[in-house]
Structure 1
Amino acid sequence: MNDQKQAAETDGANPFAALDAGRPPWDALGAFVPAPQPQIAGSATGPLAGSTFAAKDIFDVAGFVTGCGNPDWARGHAPAERHAPTVQTLLDAGAELVGKTITDELAYSLNGQSFHYGTPTNVNAPGRIPGGSSSGSAAAVAGGLADFALGSDTGGSIRVPASYCGLYGLRPTHGRITLEGVMPLAPGFDTVGWFTRDAALLRRVGGVLLGGPQAESLGSAGRWKRLLLAEDAFALATPAAQAALAPFVGRLEQRLLPAEKIAAAETGTLADWMWRFRHIQAREIMATHGAWIAETKPSFGPETQERFDWAATITEDQGASAREAREGFAKRLAELLGDDALLCLPSAPGIAPRTTSTAEELVAHRGAVLSLTSIAGLARLPQVSLPLAKVEGCPLGLSLIAPADCDEDLLAFAEAFCATEERLDI
């Protein structure tokens, strides 16, 4: 039960009751859009035959409105005429689509607390947020309602929910997977990603979505020779998070070489680079959605409205300055990684905040989160989140960033490394 429902039922009323009545009877987690659900069988054969998947409600599915987390958006858009290519590719590979999952409004949040549809349940961290904006997709996979799920990652919307919900998640190299048929937010950062409960399936889905013949697209774990440790990124994690992640960093060093300690931010702080990310993102968001917002005057939740209002204040001079700095940041990180190194950092600064956290607490947490997630975003690099650690019984992810277009080799390493970790746990 989410925090909005708890407050409403304490008052003797539940404004989400009608939504609950519209949810599929098998969705006890509030992960799926409260509307008729697409359930589409995949090909009888293929590398994903026998598996099920869900799609974040920013992916087009033929015959269904892509609601994007906002009722005004849903009312103003006709049903999609065709599947997004990513959805079609997964169906062709044998996976069955079981439904469309809740997203934060226009995918512009990292919390996963939908003002209009409620907060999906995080089964692996009860009483805590699932993370957004791919909240429903993460909740559905964590709760066993789908084997894997499509989400998107602009500022962390795969990596953060993966960490909070105890899942594997990949943000691919920017541009590797088509965004056709997917609602854009900030095209210079938008990527298609996915969640799974095991590393082998994460890699298999990657073999399908990343393109190329199946035998050639699974990658090699043996490519990686060096490990870089982003000290300034680890400094943003809570002491408990640092302690919980340390043993797994040590095991990475045993597999590769002792980590070379670096600062991801050569100049300034990661918070400085987070603001550059946000300025670029804001300019792109307003270019993408500003006209629709001005014309429609949609009803947003208070936090989303505040975010869009802020984005409208960012000037083109601020955006241009940040874009120029971004290129230097990306070039330096590419040089550090070369073609044989992985960069290690926390997926999030700590475990998922409680659903009862104040707006001020969530804003402060968001700043630390974006300071971590903007690294791969600014550099356009692939990042995998691995559900290795726990703090207070709640999941916490460790991340690895690879050079551009090395997604398959990153997934191969993740599978091999996590298979070793599973054997050590037995």
Structure 2
Amino acid sequence: MNSINMNIIAKDVAKGSGSLKVMVKDSIDIAGFQTLSGSLAYQDSPVAEQNAQIVDHILNADCQITAKTNLHELAFGITGINKNFGTPINPKYPELIPGGSSSGSAAAVAAGLADFSIGTDTGGSIRMPAACCGVYGLKPTFARVSRIGVVPAQSSLDCVGPFANSVSMIKTAMQIIDPTFKKDFSLSKTPRFAILDVAADEEIWQSIHDFLNQAQAVSEKVEVQSFNDAYRAGMQIINYENWQAYGALTKTGKVAADVNNRLLKAAETTLTDVENAEQIRKKFSQEIDQILQQFDAIILPTLPQIPPKVVDAENTTAFLNLTALVRPFNLSGHPAMSIPLETANGLPVGLQIVANQNADEMLCALAEDLLKAAQ
């Protein structure tokens, strides 16, 4: 077992006789194991008495849960760097960050250690590491997948979702973790895509446009006036809720400096800030819904730039802009998937697709259709 290189915290967690191997982010309860959330502050915590509901779904599908995976401490960071339990190596791009906070879950799939893995996404924490590690990652519609037994217990933004090396396996995973998911959904017409006009590096956009041209996708550029406001509003809510969940841990002296400092800064967020953020949430959600009345899905980059190297990413705060294109959809709750692409120089790019609320099945079908058309 090597928690630094292979991102495994505990092996042989729970087994069925099924053929699918699954790994689960260590902010999700598995009976008989501690839920450490990547933090020494929970080192003396008792083991979980029962499984998270999603874990029961996985075991009831006769899958093998082979490990719990590491994460950016307290799921409050975007680089995936963890000073306490080690930083998972990005298997396909070893010099680059694995992305956070679900770093270990993305790295496990990229390394071929699991058929699918489970992460959580409060401000991009599935889609970002998926883009960094060159795998598929789905943030389902908010509340579509159960959060019972997931840390923190209360969140108005967090979603549980899968990583995999194909859309087909994403669909299989969703069918397992969300009993309402219909895997056999098919498209009835040629889809139309709205290309969201957002700021990203030229090489990122070039990779996405090349892919869409190859797929002969029908698309039109659109703008969302409140997009940047939604990004900031999402951070206000994350800060407020994380301080409520983890603020007491700042007194233990066991939280790494990067996360501890972010928590102390988060303590400055007021209820008035949150109330203002809720107003922006309403406006932004309405704008996205209006676009999705005219188009089947919205396309934009997952990340605005190539992921930084690990050696350059020690200061998490300096790279918060990496969440600029993912966090708004936590605020609105729409389902979003990151599809792995590469630049002409072989560097990772994520193409993000966003669909209507509870249209997770259609989102997966659209992704499969694009990929097939681009072959």
TM range (shorter): over 0.9
Asked whether 1:37 is paired with 2:11, we answer yes
Asked whether 1:303 is paired with 2:252, we answer no
Larger displacement relative to structure 2 (277-286 or 221-230) = 221-230
SS in 2 for 1:338: helix
Asked whether 1:66 is paired with 2:32, we answer no
CA distance in 1, matches of 2:242, 2:189: 37
Pairwise mapping of residues 130-279 of structure 1 onto structure 2 (< 5 A)? 130-184=98-152, 187-212=155-180, 216-222=182-188, 225-232=191-198, 235=199, 237-252=200-215, 254-255=216-217, 257=218, 259-264=219-224, 266-267=225-226, 270-279=227-236
Specify every segment of 5 or more residues in structure 1 that has no aligned partner in the other structure, as ranges. Answer: 1-23
SS in 1 for 2:47: coil
Larger radius of gyration: 1
- Corresponding residue for residue 9 of structure 1: none
Q: Give the TM-score taking structure 1 as reference length.
A: 0.83
Asked whether 1:283 is paired with 2:214, we answer no
Shift of residue 336, structure 1, vs aligned partner = 1.3
CA distance in 1, matches of 2:190, 2:52: 34
1:185, 1:284 within 8 Å by CA — same for their partners in 2? Answer: no
Gap change, CA 1:366 and 1:29, over 3 Å in 2: same
- Amino acid in structure 1 at the alignment position of 2:13: Q
C-alpha RMSD of the superposition: 2.0
SS in 2 for 1:352: coil
Specify every segment of 5 or more residues in structure 2 that has no aligned partner in the other structure, as ranges. Answer: none
CA distance in 1, matches of 2:222, 2:154: 29
SS in 2 for 1:80: coil
Asked whether 1:365 is paired with 2:341, we answer no
CA distance in 2, matches of 1:399, 1:358: 23
2:4, 2:86 within 8 Å by CA — same for their partners in 1? Answer: no
Identity within the alignment, %: 30
Over residues 65-123 of structure 1, what are the superposed CA-to-partner deviations in whole Å (9 max), with x where a residue is unaligned? 01111112131x21111111111111211211111010111100111000101211101
Pairwise mapping of residues 72-111 of structure 1 onto structure 2 (< 5 A)? 72-75=41-44, 77-111=45-79
SS in 2 for 1:193: strand
- Amino acid in structure 2 at the alignment position of 1:222: S
SS in 2 for 1:72: helix
- Amino acid in structure 2 at the alignment position of 1:263: E
CA distance in 1, matches of 2:161, 2:294: 23
- Corresponding residue for residue 18 of structure 1: none
Over residues 397-417 of structure 1, what are the superposed CA-to-partner deviations in whole Å (9 max), with x where a residue is unaligned? 101000000001111222233
CA distance in 1, matches of 2:201, 2:318: 13
1:326 to 276, 281, 287: 281
1:56 to 17, 20, 25: 25
- Corresponding residue for residue 14 of structure 1: none
CA distance in 1, matches of 2:190, 2:204: 25
CA distance in 2, matches of 1:167, 1:86: 21
Q: Give the TM-score taking structure 2 as reference length.
A: 0.94
1:206, 1:218 within 8 Å by CA — same for their partners in 2? Answer: no
Over residues 101-156 of structure 1, what are the superposed CA-to-partner deviations in whole Å (9 max), with x where a residue is unaligned? 10111100111000101211101112111001111111111111111110000001
SS in 2 for 1:409: helix
Shift of residue 298, structure 1, vs aligned partner = 4.2
1:108, 1:185 within 8 Å by CA — same for their partners in 2? Answer: no
Gap change, CA 1:115 and 1:337, over 3 Å in 2: same
Shift of residue 375, structure 1, vs aligned partner = 2.3
SS in 1 for 2:66: strand
CA distance in 1, matches of 2:306, 2:242: 28
Asked whether 1:419 is paired with 2:375, we answer no
SS in 1 for 2:343: strand
